[in-house]
Amino acid sequence: DQQVKQNSPSLSVQEGRISILNCDYTNSMFDYFLWYKKYPAEGPTFLISISSIKDKNEDGRFTVFLNKSAKHLSLHIVPSQPGDSAVYFCAAYGSSNTGKLIFGQGTTLQVKP
Amino acid sequence: EAGVAQSPRYKIIEKRQSVAFWCNPISGHATLYWYQQILGQGPKLLIQFQNNGVVDDSQLPKDRFSAERLKGVDSTLKIQPAKLEDSAVYLCASSQEASPLHFGNGTRLTVT
């Protein structure tokens, strides 16, 4: 039962362009959604989050959009930089069980110079 | 602040052997988690501690996996006996209330 899905295993974009990473979920009880970034041989690091009461959250070059009716969220990186090349995980949890993050499979982003 | 510390970084064992992983969370973080990440998949929660009590271990294969968090600080995760399908990266994470999880760099386990 894959409650959080990232259907694109990989994405390649040119430096300076926009990167859009997508994530779908099935559990309507999820209240919070997070994006984590992971470099090889390192643990995931928190990037940005959004509460289900919002539809957009922005932090510098990173913006997360949430469409609750479609059970879909996306991460936009503008402009993309080579240092953004990493695996990006979408994760979600319900406020009744804070901390039990359910992760997607991850999307490998490659930003070409 | 110092991050989540895990050891060892890598471990290779034969099936049916036992192995243990250690985690030291960020100071002051009451909640500690162990996740299993199989290649090509996202991390999956194995067990969650609040101080030294277990909050959630519903996905821990209790016939072979065990975990403890003595004194509400460090934690160890043990596998005995290991199976081939246990090959994965074992990630420890910690958090304060309502804050994002901070992950360690993980232990990569290979079972041959």
* 3-class DSSP assignment, residue B103: strand
Q: Are A44 and B103 in contact (CB under 8 A)?
A: yes
CA B22/CA B107 separation, integer angstroms: 9
pLDDT at position B5, please?
97
Instruction: Give B38→chain A minimum CA distance, Å.
Output: 10
CA A67/CA A34 separation, integer angstroms: 14
- Structural domain A4-112, CATH architecture: Sandwich (2.60)
Asked whether residue B100 carries a pLDDT value surpassing 80, the answer given is: yes
Q: Looking at beta carbons, which residues of chain B come within 8 Å of A46? A: 100-102
More confident residue, A67 or B2: A67
Chosen from A88, A103, A108 to mutate, greatest number of chain B CBs within 10 A: A103
Which residues, in sequence order, are CB contacts of A109 under 8 Å at separation 6+? Answer: A10, A11, A12, A13, A19, A21, A77, A80, A84, A85, A86, A87, A88
pLDDT at position B9, please?
96
Q: Between the CA atoms of A113, A9, B65 and B110, what dihedral angle is there, to the nearest 10 degrees?
A: -60
pLDDT at position B99, please?
82
pLDDT at position B97, please?
77
Q: Do A4 and B42 touch (CB under 8 A)?
A: yes
Asked whether residue B24 carries a pLDDT value surpassing 70, the answer given is: yes
Instruction: Give A71→chain B minimum CA distance, Å.
Output: 19
Q: What is the mean pLDDT of chain B?
A: 94
pLDDT at position A97, please?
65
Give the model confidence (pLDDT) of B54-96 as tens digits. Answer: 999 999 999 999 999 988 899 999 999 999 999 999 999 999 8
Q: Do B31 and A89 touch (CB under 8 A)?
A: no
pLDDT at position B2, please?
81
Q: Are A3 and A27 in contact (CB under 8 A)?
A: yes
Give every residue of chain A whose pLDDT is below 70, as ranges.
Answer: 1, 97-99
CATH of domain B5-111: 2.60.40.10
Q: Do B103 and A49 touch (CB under 8 A)?
A: no
Cβ-nearest to A105 among B42, B55, B95 = B42
pLDDT at position A99, please?
63
